[in-house]
Structure 1
Amino acid sequence: MIKNFIYLDEAKLYSFSSQLFEGVTEYILNEQQLDEENNKTSKEGLASSKVIADVIRETSKFTEKKFLHDHSYNLFEKELQNQKLLLDLRNNEYTYNDIRNSGKSFVMIEAKGNFLDLKELQDFFHHFHDISEALAILPLTEQLQILERKKISESKAPGTKQLQSKLDQLIRDRKAELIGIPKSILGGINTVLEQFGDDIIRLKQEYGDTNITSCLNSDFLRDSLTAIYRKYSRSTSKKFVVLGIISQCDPSPAPRLDQCVEGANIFSHFENMGQHLYNLETTFNGIKPNEIIIEPIAIYTEL
């Protein structure tokens, strides 16, 4: 099966590979030492180690070899399966509790998903009124052009003033219909996104009774997020395969809200404030019931 990579965290890939394939790090530092240990390493393992080590070495020379990165990933995925370190959700039916209690750190899922970018959402709400006004005005372009011509040739004619009044009212009505959100609420949304938002891109997928959220770093996307939206949609029409590490699988613990005792030092007060801040953060972005958070290594579609 050919993989079309959407996302690949090369640093994590090679960090884990250096631990899975014995000899990768040693091969980079001392090729001769690796050759001397040839008898201690399986032929397949040694070949895989050399391929990955070559890629890392080439990367260190700032040579872009994406096809080799992709091949290294294939070796990595295969080794995870060989060593039974991977919980593959594609071939079996697992419940949320099965996943939580599997004892596996690496997980793979294949499902359609939805992208959520809080920075993009913040920018949208920041310009919400301007966008609504533009959407109200643009369909009236032809009528507004007629009005402008009348202002030049018939500026004092009653019909010109009537048309102006009619269009002004129509724009106000359309804006009221489109906006629908009072400025005070928009201000609150912007404040919350500014304080508790982040630059993490979330890919949300459903698997049985489990909601799986992958937290993406935009630096490791193979394409711009806009290009991905245009190709696959924000709500993807194709299934995406995600391989990553389970970073959270339990609901966020309740915060401690102990009161500082009289005479406590200033650091104790800061610590207490930190607990209150944690309480606010979990209100807005804490892990939900039956949700699993994944730190992805690779995301791809299969061709």
Structure 2
Amino acid sequence: MIRNFIYLDEEKMYSLSSQIFSGVKEYILNETHSDKSEDEHQNGPLGSGRSIKKAMTNGASQTEKISLHDFAYTEFEDKLLSDNKVYLPSVNPEDFEKMSFIKVKGRAIINDIAYFTEFFSKFESLTDSITYTQAVSHIEEVESQIELANSTNTTKNKRQIVDGLKKSIDIKNIKKALMPGLPSQKMVDAVSDLVSFAYQDDFEVQVYSGEQLFSSILKRECLREAEGLIVKKYGRKTEVEFVLFGIMTQKKSTEDKKSSEGLFANGFNDVRSGIMELIDAFSNIDHELSGVGENEVVVDPIALYTEIQI
């Protein structure tokens, strides 16, 4: 089995690896030249079998840097697994409260909030465009009738006929007929405000395992490919199972919801305490929007990948 990486936080992985292995293998630098070469070795602990090697030459020529990020991650994950330091929901569910690291495999949902924010902002124009493409034949036919009526109709009710024809091809009227359950623009704007406030520009992946949901916010700069390309390849609701490896940070919703009653019961003598209570009261609103669900586990992601059998 080999890993097809979708996401790898190299900085975090190396930081943790250096503490596990007392050193880290970051890269091999090969520099070729006709001049004299010099080898340098940096060894880890005796028996670890880990070293950093640089092949350096005097002079300037072509330099080839061979990345070892994927290999270093494989060693990192394998070491933690062999030391029984990783929670595996499908293998050792009883260790849920004992472990910090987690490896979970399952189908995923990809939520690119930046994409949806843009979608909400263009919702009306997009739905208008969809409506037009679906009704273009009817619209063009009625427009021909309007043109004909304007050029030939001399009756008193000409304006009434033309206005009736124009009303029949009004995009908003056609859209209501074609998409009866479409939310109003006011509703879309309200949802957009809530999403923008609660989730900002997050790129989130949610992996399902049984009844549990494992959520991670991914750093876009650590993705191996563009966000849109990932979604097009795998879909927003994936058929391929993803493997999420990281550190559990929130295991359930345990935030203490405090009442804001009596906020200034003691007057304004203790202004700082009053402000803190006010902030706490408003934080409950934020919790309702983006808090952790009862069956949800928040994971600080290190890697996300698919497994390929070879």
- TM-score, reference length from structure 1: 0.79
1:182 Cα shift?
Answer: 2.7
SS at match of 2:294: coil
Change in CA separation of 1:294 and 1:106 when aligned onto 2, cut-off 3 Å: same
- When the two chains are superposed, the root-mean-square deviation of aligned CA atoms in Å is 3.2
Per residue, is there more strand in 1 or in 2? 2
Equivalent of 1:234 in 220, 226, 236: 236
Closer/same/farther in 2, CA of residues 67 and 149 from structure 1, 3 Å limit: farther
Q: Per the alignment, do residues 66 and 272 of structure 1 end up closer, same or farther by CA in structure 2, a change over 3 Å counting?
A: farther
Q: TM-score, normalised by structure 2?
A: 0.77
CA contact (8 A) 1:111 1:240 kept: yes
For 1:132 and 1:290, locate their aligned partners in 2 and report how far apart those are by CA, in whole Å: 36
Q: Which residue type is aligned with residue 173 of structure 1?
A: I
Q: Which runs of 5+ in 1 are unaligned?
A: 26-30, 55-62
Q: Which has the larger radius of gyration?
A: 2
Percent sequence identity over aligned pairs: 24
**Residue 272 of structure 2: which of 242, 261, 267 is its match?**
267
- 1:157/1:233 CA distance change after superposition, 3 Å: farther
Q: Which moved more, 1:64-73 or 1:118-127?
A: 64-73
Q: Which one of the candidate residues 191, 194, 205 is aligned to 2:193?
A: 191
Structure 1 residues 293 and 99: CA distance shift in structure 2, 3 A: farther
Structure richer in helix, relative to its length: 1
User: Given the superposition, is the C-alpha separation of residues 166 and 65 from structure 1 closer, same or farther in structure 2, using an over 3 Å criterion?
Assistant: farther
Q: What displacement does 1:291 show? A: 1.0
CA displacement, residues 80-101 of structure 1 (integer Å, 9 cap, x when unaligned) = 12322222345x262xxx3532
Shift of 1:192: 1.6
Counterpart-to-counterpart distance in 2, 1:136 and 1:109: 42
Structure 2 residues not aligned, in runs of 5+: 26-38, 55-62
Larger mean Cα displacement after TM superposition, 143-152 or 232-241: 143-152
Q: In the alignment, is the contact (CA less than 8 A) between 1:88 and 1:108 conserved in 2?
A: yes
Superposition map of 1:11-26 within 5 A: 11-24=11-24
Q: Where do residues 210-289 of structure 1 align in structure 2 (5 Å cutoff)?
A: 210-257=212-259, 259-260=263-264, 261-289=266-294
- How far apart in 2 are the matches of 1:5 and 1:33? 29
**Quick one: structure 1 residues 227 and 284, their matched pair in 2 at CA, closer, same or farther if it must change by over 3 Å?**
same
Give the direction of change, closer, same or farther, for the CA distance of 1:117–1:176 in structure 2 (3 Å limit): farther
The answer for the alignment partner of 2:59 in structure 1 is none
The answer to whether the 8 A contact 1:245-1:296 is kept is yes
Within a 5 Å distance, the mapping from 1:154-169 to structure 2 comes to 155-157=150-152, 161=162, 164-168=166-170
Where does residue 80 of structure 2 map in the other structure? Answer: 80
Output aligned runs, 1:36-51, within 5 Å. Answer: 41-44=46-49, 46-47=50-51, 50=52
Listed one character per residue, the Cα deviations across residues 199-251 of structure 1 (whole Å, up to 9, x for unaligned) are 22221122122111122111111111111111110000100111111011021
Distance 2:198 2:24 in 1: 40
Counterpart code for 1:73: Y
Alignment pair present for 1:100 and 2:96: yes
Residue 147 of structure 1 and its aligned partner are, at CA, apart by 5.3
Q: What is the letter of the counterpart of residue 123 of structure 1?
A: E
1:22-77: per-residue Cα shift (whole Å, max 9, x none)?
1339xxxxx98955xx7x52142x34xx27xx7xxxxxxxx996852111111111
Whole-Å Cα distance in 1 between the matches of residues 174 and 64 of structure 2?
A: 54
